[in-house]
Amino acid sequence: MKTTDKMLEATKELWKSYNEHPFVKGIQDGSLAKDKFKYYIMQDYLYLKEYAKVFAIGVAKAKTLETANLFAKYIAVMNGELDVHSGYMGKFNVSQEEIDDMKPSLDNLSYTSYMLRVAYEEGEVEILAAILSCAYSYEVIAKKIVENNPNSINDEFYGDWIKGYASNEYASGNIILIETMNQLTKDYTEKQIQHLIDIFVACSRYELAFWQMSWDKSC
């Protein structure tokens, strides 16, 4: 088994629970309350600001120019997602002042602090393990939503979110992340791989907590 196969096997039941969560099911059938989604979008903005820093540290720690460019590309992509006036931020008319006044929830702060600790203390491969859970799980979630409810992509509000993460364009980025992880770890020992699995499992648990945080609108 490749390293990413082992990581996904270790989180199989956990990832299955994502699509069973009421927040995700609400996106799937269009019934999710808009105030819950607004809270999620605003917390996700705060999350992405820290997530971008993890990629930036990855650039500094990369051992090859190819891997450095991979990390750097994601920072550029997230510049669009961090535009308060576009996407769902724009739909909700969220102001920069409103964002500046919002604090990250405890779950959000714990998640991003964990990823940043991995980034500062460890190397390029461990950073890949930390970011892969978020990056790839959104693709898996969105594609499962479409499988469960093909008409979900036509929802006038949530359809764009679903289509974005279920798209071939989004998947192409994850293919590169997965291939890079497997290539860099092809000669790793079982102990080294288990450490990566531990990081991946921790971040996968944080992902589930993020959905619950959004559902509860917890601080």
Residues with catalytic function: 134, 207
Contact in structure between 105 and 215 (CB atoms under 8 Å)? no
- CA–CA separation, 151 and 101 (whole Å): 37
DSSP letter string over 65-85? HHHHHHHHHHHHHHHHHT-TT
Single-letter amino acid code for the residue at 156: E
State the amino acid at position 171 in one-letter form. A
In terms of Cα–Cα distance, which of 139, 142, 105, 117 is closest to 199? 117
d(CA 128, CA 178): 9
